[in-house]
Amino acid sequence: MIKVTLGDISRLDFQVDAIVNAANSALIPGGGVDGALNQAAGPKLKQAMAAIGGTPTGTAVITPAFELSATYVIHAVGPRYIDGKHNEEELLYSAYEAVFQLAREYELSTLAIPVLSAGIYGYPKETAAYVLYKVASRAENHAVTTYVIVYEEFWLPLFDKILQKKI
């Protein structure tokens, strides 16, 4: 099940098994979702990320969530969008697939996830949202309730169109 919610993923007012972080490949806290989650989680999240040492674009790794409203944080590395001709779509699919693989491996039933790569990484928003929907709605991921947490209202009608299969 996919539920789209307007809010701040770093300050959820409900508990989930894992929050997905839009991380960079170095796993060094940056801005946006990554910066907000690190600030809310406390310094131990940065230390846990540093202990991993990085992960390639299109992959995901997992750490404890520390002070967040979750048990785990799944750090997913989406691609920077260049022009759509540099494997960006394959890498974005791969990042989401890695998230859901970890969810299945850890037997998680709830995820809070942002739309990866659609902020400072410049991925076209509608396409990024659709890729998230496609992966989350696969049969093997039906056991996971996916809360897509969006920070801006313009995402809501976009996801309404996707969820009604009008795109």
CATH topology of domain 2-163: Leucine Aminopeptidase, subunit E; domain 1 (3.40.220)
pTM of the complete model beyond 0.75 = yes
In this predicted model, what pLDDT tens digit does every residue of 42-80 receive, in sequence order? 999 999 999 999 999 999 999 999 999 999 999 999 999
CB crowding 75-94: b at 16 or more within 10 Å, else e: bbbbbebeeeeeebbebbbb
CA distances from 23 to 41, 113, 137, 146 (A): 14, 12, 23, 19
Instruction: Split the chain (167 residues) into runs of 10 and give each run's mean pLDDT.
Output: 96 98 96 95 97 98 98 98 96 98 98 96 96 97 97 95 78
User: Which residues are designated catalytic?
Assistant: 34
